Structure 1
């Protein structure tokens, strides 16, 4: 599994498409769940938000061995005043930490440039 993190609109999806030769049919965008038969789970933070807002723990869907997971880094900036937003931010952080431990590679994308962390 490969994890790609970075801020909003920094080029994570473009990087993933190029690096892993992903086509449109490989991409799974969150819509009340993921199609886990697809190789790339896009914008994991949205799935985390839905779980937190519903008051339930986030559970990572089963991943393929060759999965690519893209997650927007929501940890930077001003700490939100709303409780749900703060809990979401914390849960995203815990989730990417757990994914990073399991991942074969972790890449941060910033300003369209990739930096391999693992």
Structure 2
């Protein structure tokens, strides 16, 4: 598993797709596939959109469930995950927005621990942090 993180519209997807040029890539946006597509690499971006559809009150269960599903996808092909950094010290006023930010933080900790490689993308410039 390879994880790429950065701010919104900072060039994460462009960077990953350039890196994977020439490979058969399945790009999944905002959903979690129920099956592994036939490809060399699955790129999942915007997991935050999928999280919004879940019961964020049970974030530990969501994170565990998501990790299990991601590992199952990884059995068939390489897995690249692109996530948006939404912390940066700003605490949202709305409860659901806070729950989403907190759940993403817990998810990202687990993903970063499990990942073989973690890269931060900031305005198109990559910095490998793991």
Report if TM-score (shorter chain) is over 0.5: yes
Cα pair distance change 1:41/1:22, threshold 3 Å:
farther
Q: Which structure has the bigger radius of gyration?
A: 2
CA contact (8 A) 2:30 2:48 kept: no
Tell whether 2:114 aligns with 1:102: yes
Determine the C-alpha separation between the residues in 1 that align with 2:22 and 2:33.
17
1:19, CA displacement in angstroms? 1.4
Secondary structure in 2 matching 1:67: strand
Cα pair distance change 1:22/1:13, threshold 3 Å:
farther
The match for 2:74 is: 64
The match for 2:18 is: 18
Q: For residues 67-100 of structure 1, what are the alpha-carbon distances to aligned partners after superposition, in whole Å with 9 as ceiling and x for unaligned?
A: 0001111112521011110011010011011000
Secondary structure in 2 matching 1:48: helix
TM-score (normalised: structure 2) = 0.78
Determine the C-alpha separation between the residues in 2 that align with 1:17 and 1:36.
21
Secondary structure in 2 matching 1:47: helix
The match for 1:48 is: 51
Give the ranges of 4+ consecutive aligned residues of structure 1 lying more than 6 Å apart after TM superposition. Answer: none
Instruction: Give me the CA root mean square deviation.
Output: 2.2
